Amino acid sequence: MMHDSKSIFVPPRREDIRKTGAIYQENLPRFDWKCALPVLTKTLLIHNCGTEQHFSISDAHHPEKPERVAKILRELKKSGLRSRCKVVGSRRLATEAELELVHERPYIQKMKRTVEMSDNQLRTTEDGLDSIFLTRDTFAIARRAVGSVLECVDRVLSVAVGELNAFAVIRPPGHHAGISAPSGFCIFNNVAIATKYAIDKYNVRRILIFDWDVHHGNGTQQIFYEDDRVLYMSVHRHDNGDFYPVDQPKDYIDVGKGTGKGYSLNLPWNHSRIGDEAYRAAFAKVIMPIAYEFNPELVFISAGFDAAAGDPLGQYMVSPDTFALMTYQLTALSGGRIIAVLEGGYNLDMMAKCAAAVCRVMVDGGTRRVMESEGSGDLKFQSRLHRGVWDSIRGVATVHEQYWKCLRGFQKKRLYVGKWRVKRLKLRNALRRRCR
């Protein structure tokens, strides 16, 4: 069944097509590349206090460590961005009722009991969980992480459209946490709870969650798998199912269930050397067209930076400029009401640079430096696109065209992949015709 939307995507005329990173934007609506929106009044930069008390006692080199938040905040101060934001060190603790918007009560009570556990009891509890470490302060710090994102929602939705956006630099991350269990360094699902909070308190009807963390947000998808008010989109490393989280529904055929069919979109990468080109192609061809058709009233970014170059877990090669460009395009949605929430990212230097690039877009309202520097080396860029990238994009388009009007006939459209590739395809097709 095709989704009903007030905003139907209409491709631009050929003469109006702009290009960015040499991906031809046939599928993107027209808007001024120099600045998608007027400069916003303010960007809220919020971080949860006390994160240094949540750490792995048994592994001093654990990648999800307190230095992650501190490193980003130092980078934002060094770049001058911190002084241009409204900075809040949040001490708001999410209530148990707020946690129950998403999580089951027995699970919340299990986490609550860790406050009084001995070190040995904590280690035993950890052993029964999936990639989780605990201290006696973890429950409070995780509640404060959720509270920080709820505070972002309150502030962003309590002012006029276009006046405020927010960046939550928090930990522990959240997108792996499901309804009844934590996993993958995540205790409570920060973004999912904030999404339900926005729906219940502010009557927001359509929310987009875009997850660019290199790991699939299996917890977030599980929570909204049957919900047509939330469009969950994830671009992630898949490796044909062998990349974490393993044995989870995260391929492009996993589209949702019941009324939520078509509202879970997974773009899985099965090629090991993925970088800027793949992410920009995905945005041009499927992500932004569907996002415009959905027409969200609020956008969350699950902003993990473990797809960035040099990350020890993700091992991809995405640059800060591409994270900036993705943020820039998303700011054209929902009147600029956008909340970015830190997820993964374990190369501290690169993670901080990527976070600063995202914050700069949110503060400035556009990516002038990125956009003006593009345009050279077009064929070189296009020729680096691996066939597996197009296979993933076409797979998503094929499965989702029954749900989204903007993808109708996608397979029939010519995808520009460079002159050398076009010539090779023509030669191959000619040889095939001769052999018939």
Q: What residues are labeled active site?
A: 176
User: Phi and psi for 87 in degrees, rounded to 5?
Assistant: -95, 130
What does DSSP assign to residue 275?
A: B
Nearest C-alpha neighbor of 149 from the set 183, 203, 188: 188
- Tell me whether strands 298-303 and 338-342 are parallel, antiparallel or unpaired: parallel
- Which residue pairs from 25-33 have beta carbons closer than 8 angstroms and sit at least 24 positions apart in sequence? 25/284, 26/284, 26/413, 27/284, 27/285, 27/286, 27/288, 27/289, 27/406, 28/284, 28/288, 28/289, 28/292, 28/329, 29/292, 31/332, 33/371
Partnered with residue 168 across adjacent β-strands are 46, 341
Cα–Cα distance, 291 to 268 (Å, whole number): 18
Going by the DSSP 8-state scheme, the letter that residue 39 receives in this structure is: P
Note the helical H segments in 79-207: 96-99, 105-112, 119-127, 138-157, 190-202
